[in-house]
A and B are shown apart, each in its own frame.
Chain A
Amino acid sequence: AQSVAQPEDQVNVAEGNPLTVKCTYSVSGNPYLFWYVQYPNRGLQFLLKYITGDNLVKGSYGFEAEFNKSQTSFHLKKPSALVSDSALYFCAVRDYNYGQNFVFGPGTRLSVLP
């Protein structure tokens, strides 16, 4: 079975500082990994994905994530946080060998303080 953990319920960071939002996953086969952002009362917006290839993936709004197979992690990072990055972030996994379902983590609320 697939599962995703986001160990931090809340992450606080000062504007201009680097940010990291953590994600670990568990799948039986090969993972497809995703990050999404949700602003209040809005749908989820796709940020980036890892399918294959380079372990460092770059996405929208200056975000990037690193796939680490040995640690089964896919942490989201940004070198310099903006106040406008404050939102709810979701990590998701799809096990390519086991169907069409995407499993989402519980979400991490990021607050960037001015």
Chain B
Amino acid sequence: SQTIHQWPATLVQPVGSPLSLECTVEGTSNPNLYWYRQAAGRGLQLLFYSVGIGQISSEVPQNLSASRPQDRQFILSSKKLLLSDSGFYLCAYMGGNTIYFGEGSWLTVV
């Protein structure tokens, strides 16, 4: 069966510090991978998606970047965090026409 792991679960970072959130998927190969941000416990904003290693599409210009160094690994990064980067970050993969989410990472920038 397929599983998705996302870490860290919570993170408190000072403004200007770097960020790295990691996501891995097991039980499937070459999945489409996604990073979403959820602000204020409501709507989801698609940040990045990837259809293969090294292939990243950015949906919203911002302070963040994404990388896919391995088939089932998706990393969300920032060189210098802003207060506005605070939120709930969700990684997801597509399997069988359906998108499945990880448990999310809470980022608080202080």
Are B42 and A43 in contact, CB atoms less than 8 angstroms apart?
no
Are A107 and B97 in contact, CB atoms less than 8 angstroms apart?
no
B104: chain A residues within 8 A (beta carbon): 41-43
| B 84-97 binary contact with A (CB < 8 Å = 1; else 0) | 00000010001001
B99: chain A residues within 8 A (beta carbon): 34, 46, 92, 94, 102
Contact of A100 among B6, B32, B100, B101 (CB under 8 A): B32
Complex Cα gap A102–B49 (Å): 10
Smallest CB–CB gap between B17 and chain A, Å? Answer: 23
Indicate if B26 sits at the interface (CB-CB under 8 A). no
Complex Cα gap A38–B39 (Å): 14
Smallest CB–CB gap between A38 and chain B, Å? Answer: 8
Are A41 and B90 in contact, CB atoms less than 8 angstroms apart?
no
Count, chain B residues at interface, CB 8 A: 22
Indicate if B82 sits at the interface (CB-CB under 8 A). no
B43: chain A residues within 8 A (beta carbon): 104-107
Complex Cα gap A32–B96 (Å): 12
A14: chain B residues within 8 A (beta carbon): none
Nearest A residue to B105 via CB reads A43
Contact of B41 among A88, A94, A100 (CB under 8 A): A88
| A 87-110 binary contact with B (CB < 8 Å = 1; else 0) | 010101010000011111111000
Complex Cα gap A45–B103 (Å): 9
Provide a sorted-by-A list of 25 A–B residue pairs whose CB atoms are within 8 angstroms. A32-B97, A34-B98, A41-B104, A42-B103, A43-B90, A43-B101, A43-B104, A44-B101, A46-B98, A46-B99, A88-B41, A90-B44, A92-B99, A94-B99, A100-B32, A100-B51, A100-B94, A101-B49, A101-B59, A102-B34, A102-B46, A103-B46, A104-B43, A104-B44, A107-B42
Residues of A within 8 A of B (CB): 32, 34, 36, 41-46, 49, 51, 88, 90, 92, 94, 100-107
